[in-house]
């Protein structure tokens, strides 16, 4: 008889969302850090990983990432310095590095931030918000298209935690992202902790942003913790996620089924048990949404 169709492993399965591009089904994951390599290798419940692209050399991947890739876990390179929000086009060298990371890891996609990181050769040292004007949107659209052309896999962009707003903004961040997605087809990496940060610090309603963002283009979601000091929320990725961030994840899941949700933890690393509990809390928050509306 005919050969049975070859089944893709669940982590590599591809679904088609409406008429949009294919989206990798990822599951629940954690940001790989060299300090967490053994923890992640022995943890249950990790479906995929993300690694900061600037921290690896494609020709000599960390042994731990090679081990985890051999187990079939997808690994997404996550860039922090491309600067698609800059006035200048993205650096060909940075794009080549991201492309090489994607190929070395056999990654389903690459992610970066919708951020301004340098101007006139000066590094900002932070992921700064992009001026959300029509002119800025035109520049960013062109930068995103250049990045997409240079990458062998789809690109997803992350919303940033703003420390201020530009005075001449014509669009909200959600509106800006929606127009950018419409123009380029770029994927969305929605960081619900950043939405929470902007709500606390700038009074920008997070649920309202979820209602505007084109979640049918969702690639995956970030969850992270931080702390409040002097009325300001510091998104440090060094604490357990506060319940309001997980509530936002539930709100997002009520609107769209995210292909993946990833926990970020960047310093003051906790015990294996704390990380396992955080992954469990993420799964609970997702399950509370029921079926997407």
Q: What is the mean pLDDT of residues 149-165?
A: 92
For residues 225-248, b (16+ Cβ closer than 10 Å) or e, as one string? bbeeeeeebbbebbbbbbeebbbb
Higher per-residue confidence, 62 vs 123? 62
Res. 159: pLDDT tops 60: yes
191 token code pair? 């960081």
Q: Provide the β-strand partners of residue 145.
A: none
Please provide residue 112's backbone torsions phi and psi, each rounded to the nearest 5 degrees.
-150, 180
What domains appear along the chain, each with residue ranges and CATH number?
A: 27-288 (3.20.20.150)
Ranges of H-type helices in the chain: 37-42, 63-70, 92-105, 134-150, 173-184, 192-202, 206-212, 243-255, 272-287
Q: What is the mean pLDDT of the chain?
A: 91
Residue 23 pLDDT grade (very low, low, confident, very high; cuts 50, 70, 90): confident
Strand pairing report for 75-78 and 27-31? unpaired
196 token code pair? 């929470």
Query: What is the tens place of the pLDDT at every residue in 63-120?
Result: 999 999 999 999 999 999 999 999 999 999 999 999 999 999 999 999 999 999 888 8
- CA 122/CA 239 separation, integer angstroms: 31
Query: What is the tens place of the pLDDT at every residue in 234-263?
Result: 999 999 999 999 999 999 999 999 999 999
Distance of CA 184 to the CA centre of its chain: 17
Ranges of H-type helices in 153-266: 173-184, 192-202, 206-212, 243-255
Res. 182: pLDDT tops 90: yes
The H or E element containing residue 51 is strand 48-52
Measured from the Cβ of residue 171, the count of other Cβ atoms closer than 10 Å reads: 18
pLDDT attached to residue 22: 62
């Amino acid at each position: 008889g005919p050969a049975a169709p070859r089944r893709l492993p669940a982590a590599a399965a591809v679904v088609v969302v409406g008429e949009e591009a294919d989206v990798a089904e990822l599951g629940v994951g954690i940001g790989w850090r060299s300090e967490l390599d053994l923890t992640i290798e022995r943890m249950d419940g990790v479906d995929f990983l993300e690694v900061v692209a600037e921290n690896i050399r494609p020709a000599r991947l960390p042994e731990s990432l090679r081990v985890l890739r051999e187990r079939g876990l997808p690994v997404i390179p996550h860039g922090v310095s491309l600067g698609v929000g800059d006035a200048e086009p993205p650096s060909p060298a940075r794009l080549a590095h991201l492309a090489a990371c994607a190929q070395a890891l056999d990654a389903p996609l690459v992610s970066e931030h919708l951020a301004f990181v340098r101007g006139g050769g000066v590094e900002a040292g932070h992921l700064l918000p992009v001026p959300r004007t029509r002119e800025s949107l035109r520049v960013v659209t062109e930068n995103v298209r250049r990045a997409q052309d240079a990458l062998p896999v789809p690109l997803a962009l992350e919303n940033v935690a703003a420390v201020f707003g530009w005075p001449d903004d014509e669009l909200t961040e959600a509106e800006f992202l929606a127009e950018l997605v419409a123009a380029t087809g770029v994927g969305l990496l929605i960081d619900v902790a950043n939405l929470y940060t902007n709500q606390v610090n700038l009074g920008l309603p997070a649920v309202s942003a979820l209602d505007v963002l084109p979640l049918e283009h969702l690639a995956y979601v970030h969850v992270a913790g931080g702390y409040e000091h002097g009325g300001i929320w510091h998104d440090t990725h060094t604490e357990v996620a506060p319940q309001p961030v997980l509530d936002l994840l539930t709100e997002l899941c009520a609107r769209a089924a995210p292909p993946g949700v990833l926990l970020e933890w960047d310093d003051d690393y906790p015990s294996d048990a704390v990380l396992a509990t955080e992954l469990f809390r993420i799964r609970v928050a997702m399950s509370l949404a029921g079926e997407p509306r």
